[in-house]
Structure 1
Amino acid sequence: MRPIDPRLFRFSKSSRGFTFVSVLIATIGAALTITQSALLAHLITQVFEQNKLIASLKSSVIVLALVFLGKALLSYISERVAAVASASIRRDLRLQLVDRIFSTDAASKRGPAELSLLATRGVDNLDPYFAKFIPQLFIASVVPLIVGIAIAYKDLLSGIVIICTIALIPLFGILIGRFTASATQKKWQSLAILSGYYLDLISGIATLKLFGRSKQQAQRLQEVGDDYRSETMKVLRISFLSSLALEIIATLSVALMAVTIALRLVNGSITLQTGLFVLVLAPEVYWPIRQVSAQFHAASDGVEAANRIFEILETPVSAPSNLISDITEISWSDLTVEFEGREKLLIPAASIKAGAVNLIAGPSGSGKSTLISILLGFKSDYSGDVIVKGENGSVKLFDLDKTNWRKQLSWLAQEPHFQNATIFEVLQQ
């Protein structure tokens, strides 16, 4: 589970500008944080060590107030930019996902329930990923580095302490990330099963009521829902444990730094202003990393959804340019289809003449629906040939432009959904 998937920049142009703005905001935020700590250390030192009045430090107080205001404004801008970018990126991905579903055989591999889940809730789950996690990730990448350099410049020993302690965080992050990836994947699989089962249940509710099997299916639906709840709780447990681990590391690191500063203040080897500057700034090194961990778990559903969406978007789309019109015959031979966990499906050779009424008959599992999916262009992972003959010659179905091909077809599914209209109006639509 990678924090930022490189495929994001390939499928959404909006993400590139968003990345640049996020890095810029993080850099400005780091500069303001350093300025804030320096001003606080200066003011406290002047008041308690130099016995100066606050009134005589009016200019420093005004600048400090402006820094606080600037950080608040920067936080607002960051949230607004992230929200707009998230909406734009999700719109791009949803449009591309729907287009790829109709231009490939993804529907035959994943099923309508999972695809509808990805196109709706899956894409929506990307909002915390883009709006919260990505901005925080850039902050965690930029702020600790800049702040750490500032601390090391003022006090080398404190900089060494930061380097030694902060190195533990990526190690814990890798271990926790692996557990999170596995748990989130299982959670998403259970959600896909729940979605598919619910869709099948709704589609066949009339038949179930007719044969008195609705109560048994309701019990089964509850069991599937409990499985999803159990997987969700596992993800939450990992999230709380990871947050606790990072909190302990950060707290101990700042405490260690505070002890070393206190001892050196007693010995007089460090000034009060430098010690305060380092002590006030030290938590800012660990805070962004702790926050990115929290946002990572909040966005874990979006990360898993993004992985599945990118898998579909990476499905190769053939780009045939062959067109055909005035179809006279469709024939196929040596058609073989492989299914996972099943024997190869062999479809007997046959042909369909234009203007004739043809019946495709056979026992359950003989390949009737599979053949229809192939002829509609929704299934391409088959061996054999499907030849389409027209007035302008013959061409393989695989080489045809699928958009042009489907414009010449009409199809009524096995389980049609009747609308509140006459049959003539439905056929017109």
Structure 2
Amino acid sequence: MTPVSTRGGAIDPRLVRRSRAVRSYLVVSVVLATVVAGLVVGQAWLVATVVSDGFEGSGATDAVITAVVALAAVVVGRALLGWLHAVVSARAAVEVKRQLRGEVVDRLLDGTPARLGRPESSHVVTLLGPGLDKLDPYFAKYLPQLVLALTVPAVVVVAVFAADPLSGVTIAVTLPLVVVFMVLVGYLTRDRTERRWRALVRLSHHFSDVLDGLVVLKVFGRSRNQAKGIAEVGERNRHETMAALRLAFLSSFVLELVASISVALVAVSIGLRLVEGHMTLMTGLFVLVLAPDAYLPLRQVGAHFHDSAEGRAVADDVYTILDDPDGPAAAGRSEERTTLDLAGATIAVDGVSVSYPGRSAPALAPTSLTLEPGTVLALTGPSGTGKSTLVDVLMGFTAPTAGRVTVRTAEGRAYDLADLDPDTWRTGLAWVPQAPGVLAGTVAANVRLGAPDASDDEVLAALADAGATDLHPWRDLHEGGANLSAGERRRLAVARALVRVRCGGAAVMLLDEPTAGLDPATEARVRRTLREARVTVLVVAHRRALVEDADAVVALRPLPVERAQPFEQPSRARAPQDERVETTVAT
């Protein structure tokens, strides 16, 4: 296989550019490879000296014994350098994988998934888990051999040419043939390797989708039918794997054949001249022992490229995320914006819409509204009109396709949400998602996710105000809240948001169905708590009681399919406490 990457170079420039560990590793590899090249030449000379002096000379003389000892030292030195190169390679692979995993996770957490079309969780898990582990062969096998292939053949050709110009010219002419065959075979096998990775990704997607819908499939008696689908996808994955392996063996055979023929040409030339007496045994042995080492590194590069090619395809997926031009950049943001205070701020949504590739209808049609400081605004409408999408936009998880969100602070300064640092913006927000997340641990630990410094009394007060007095702070919770009911998870999330407001400095609450699954008494308690919070609140609501408590209501309506009318952009004014204003936004 050829050292032709999916990016067109032997060494991926993105790894060199972005990773300090790779740059340090390449420097060390070049130094080690240069020393190894010198030892290769020294080993061949010592072998030739021992054989020629032992058979043509006076036998086991002191010089021959010294040469044997030196030869043993060279062999041990090459073994130690090989071990050292393997250790350096393994450490570089670990460091690069750690760095890439950290960068991808940070990028996925700062809102980038929306800009990238929301990578599926199964793809992310496969990418960050077994996917990046496929970089191990790239660093442990391919790159060491690649560096050796750049140094050893050059040193060997020079040494052989100095000893026997004819053999040197023969090796110099046949070496490019090995490279040519590597390139030709590589272009064919590269696509197979990439298809193998894509087949694995499809298999993980399919399996994840089946697991997500297994309960529904079981209810309707369709779970058994999915076994056939998984078997078919697995069979395609097996087929692609075997096709890639078949080509790998064939390409290795081609490289071995070309290298063997090239070494045979040198050996025939040396044999004829030795018979005719035109070359000494010492020179002939030196060249003959050294010649295979000129081709060996190139053959090893081709063999180990198969081990690394899948890792290169994984790296392409990683850099698709990391090199997204629309991702948020911390550079250029002013220090003034890092101290943004949302207390008393007005948030204006101006004609914001969100569309996803492959969907004919927008997830959120152009919508305008204003969040006045200290008021409660209810966002209503049928399912699928974009209420949760709008909350994602305000959280910074989703970039609007059109329109913008502006923030005007109490001091009168106006900022565009797209220009704000996501982490800084979210420090002023308290969020209750439609499906609250729960981590393995205690109830108190999950409530303190909103404010790690909250005291026990503050945690208890938040739980009580969220109607969750039955949730003991030290109760153990399973991952994802498996031992909680839907209503308990909802109340836990509300308590977490309250702690964030009271102890974490949040001044804006974004709540997606905070009272879903709650009984009327608990719902009344949560409604009263939200009113008493005295912060800006945007609540996605379907229940009448929660809507009636709001100072203003924005009703999102589905866009008629047959015709698309211009969307209203209603002007918003702060409503008095005892008067509720309802605005309908055609979406």
TM-score, scaled relative to structure 2: 0.68
Q: Choose from 145, 148, 164 the match for 1:155.
A: 164
Unmatched tracts of structure 2, length 5 or more: 438-479, 497-587
Post-superposition Cα deviations, 1:28-66, rounded to whole Å, max 9, x if no partner, equal 111111101001101111122224236662111111111
Q: 2-side partners of 1:342 and 1:217: how far apart?
A: 26
Cα contact 2:352–2:367 (8 A) shared by 1:
yes
Q: Choose from 259, 263, 266 the match for 1:254.
A: 263
1:426, distance to aligned residue in structure 2 (A): 6.2
Q: Choose from 410, 414, 419 the match for 2:482.
A: 419
Is structure 2 residue 313 aligned with structure 1 residue 304? yes
Q: Choose from 377, 380, 391 the match for 2:399.
A: 380
Query: What value does the CA root-mean-square deviation take over the aligned residues?
Result: 2.3
TM-score, scaled relative to structure 1: 0.92
1:85, distance to aligned residue in structure 2 (A): 1.6
1:257, distance to aligned residue in structure 2 (A): 0.7
User: Residues 299-338 of structure 1 correspond to what in structure 2 (within 5 A)?
Assistant: 299-316=308-325, 317-319=328-330, 320-321=333-334, 322=337, 323-326=340-343, 329-338=346-355
Q: Number of matched residues?
A: 428
AA in 2 matched with 1:228: N
Aligned to 1:350: 368
- In terms of fraction of residues, the more helix-rich structure is 1
AA in 2 matched with 1:224: V
Aligned to 1:129: 138
Aligned to 1:61: 68
Q: 2-side partners of 1:106 and 1:248: how far apart?
A: 48
Aligned to 1:23: 30
Instruction: Evaluate the alpha carbon distance shift between residue 381 and residue 39 of structure 1 in structure 2; reply closer, same or farther with a 3 A threshold.
Output: farther
Instruction: Evaluate the alpha carbon distance shift between residue 428 and residue 179 of structure 1 in structure 2; reply closer, same or farther with a 3 A threshold.
Output: farther
Cα contact 1:104–1:379 (8 A) shared by 2:
yes
More moved, 104-113 vs 20-29: 104-113
1:247, distance to aligned residue in structure 2 (A): 0.4
Is structure 2 residue 222 aligned with structure 1 residue 222? no
AA in 1 matched with 2:425: W
Aligned to 2:579: none
Cα contact 2:179–2:298 (8 A) shared by 1:
no
Is structure 2 residue 359 aligned with structure 1 residue 359? no
Q: 1-side partners of 2:147 and 2:421: how far apart?
A: 43
Cα contact 1:180–1:238 (8 A) shared by 2:
yes
Report the identity percentage: 38
Unmatched tracts of structure 1, length 5 or more: none
Secondary structure of the residue that 1:318 maps to in structure 2? Answer: coil
Instruction: Evaluate the alpha carbon distance shift between residue 360 and residue 297 of structure 1 in structure 2; reply closer, same or farther with a 3 A threshold.
Output: farther
Higher relative contact order (CA closer than 8 Å, sequence separation 6+) = 1
Secondary structure of the residue that 1:358 maps to in structure 2? Answer: strand
Is structure 2 residue 190 aligned with structure 1 residue 181? yes
Secondary structure of the residue that 1:349 maps to in structure 2? Answer: strand
Secondary structure of the residue that 2:378 maps to in structure 1? Answer: coil
Q: Choose from 380, 397, 401 the match for 2:421.
A: 401
Cα contact 1:128–1:299 (8 A) shared by 2:
yes
Secondary structure of the residue that 2:221 maps to in structure 1? Answer: coil
Cα contact 1:104–1:315 (8 A) shared by 2:
no
Instruction: Evaluate the alpha carbon distance shift between residue 428 and residue 79 of structure 1 in structure 2; reply closer, same or farther with a 3 A threshold.
Output: farther
Q: 1-side partners of 2:235 and 2:344: how far apart?
A: 52
Aligned to 2:53: 46
1:356, distance to aligned residue in structure 2 (A): 2.3
Post-superposition Cα deviations, 1:180-210, rounded to whole Å, max 9, x if no partner, equal 3222222222222221222222222212111
1:175, distance to aligned residue in structure 2 (A): 2.0
Instruction: Evaluate the alpha carbon distance shift between residue 327 and residue 223 of structure 1 in structure 2; reply closer, same or farther with a 3 A threshold.
Output: farther
1:103, distance to aligned residue in structure 2 (A): 2.4
Post-superposition Cα deviations, 1:273-326, rounded to whole Å, max 9, x if no partner, equal 111100000110111111111111011111111122122222243334433412
Q: Choose from 292, 301, 305 the match for 2:301.
A: 292
Instruction: Evaluate the alpha carbon distance shift between residue 55 and residue 213 of structure 1 in structure 2; reply closer, same or farther with a 3 A threshold.
Output: same
Is structure 2 residue 298 aligned with structure 1 residue 279? no
User: Residues 47-126 of structure 1 correspond to what in structure 2 (within 5 A)?
Assistant: 47-53=54-60, 57-106=64-113, 108-109=116-117, 110-126=119-135
Q: 1-side partners of 2:100 and 2:44: how far apart?
A: 42
Q: 2-side partners of 1:369 and 1:89: how far apart?
A: 37
1:357, distance to aligned residue in structure 2 (A): 5.2
Aligned to 2:410: 391
Q: 2-side partners of 1:360 and 1:217: how far apart?
A: 37
Is structure 2 residue 147 aligned with structure 1 residue 138? yes
